[in-house]
Amino acid sequence: MTKTKGVEFPEWVSESAYISGRRNAMLLREVPIDPSVGKFFVDSSTGQVFVNNVILDYETIKMFTVRIVVRDNGKPKLSSSAFIRIRVLDLNEPPVLIPKEVSFNENSPRYTQASSPIFASDPDEGQTLTFKLETNPGEIFTIEGCSGLLSLNKEVLNYEASNKHYVFVEVTDSGVTGEDILSDSSQVTIAVLDVNEPPVIVPAAYSITLCRFL
């Protein structure tokens, strides 16, 4: 088999003498018309296979099998055919961070976890996603790198003082080759939920004037 840019060709595609027995034979190659294989076409003079104006997706189909026909211009004209395999090579695609809102109850103690983790997806198989905080005003929160779960770093949440906080989260994939790592980031809204708090009696000084009756 011969290989050209990830496409495997049978030897007869490039050996004209083998096909027709004539060194000066002209070879014409074609992909037979087939609706299921309309993704490719072949240069009839060189045998080079091209993608036919479509997008190939490794995650959907990793390999195609097509039949190539080669014809000469002899008398009589002869032809031969064979099936070739076209492999789709995987390229790293960036992860996608899904913007969302998470929440904490006010007055929560340190290390309290958010209502739900930050969610991200990646179209590539077998990716390891890692989360980190890009911005974190006041360093109030932390994030677990492997899960995207936010936790409280400081006991400062007060609904009456501020019922919303905002951080930017970045998610990074592990790449296909290890050198093609990609990332995505998005703002995450953190809501502080109101919790009923008991009333407080504020100490105060009182004065009483007593009247003395003689």
Superfamily, domain 2-87: Cadherins (2.60.40.60)
Q: Find, among 94, 99, 93, the residue nearest to 148 by Cα.
A: 99
Q: What is the pLDDT of residues 104-121, one digit of tens each?
A: 999 999 999 999 999 999
CATH of domain 96-193: 2.60.40.60
Q: What is the pLDDT of residues 142-193, one digit of tens each?
A: 999 999 999 999 999 999 999 999 999 999 999 988 889 999 999 999 999 9
Q: Find, among 43, 52, 38, 35, the residue nearest to 4 by Cα.
A: 43
Rounded CA gap, 179 and 177, in Å? 5
Rg (CA), the chain: 35
Rounded CA gap, 128 and 173, in Å? 6
Q: What is the pTM of this model?
A: 0.68
Note whether 2-87 and 96-193 share their fold. Answer: yes
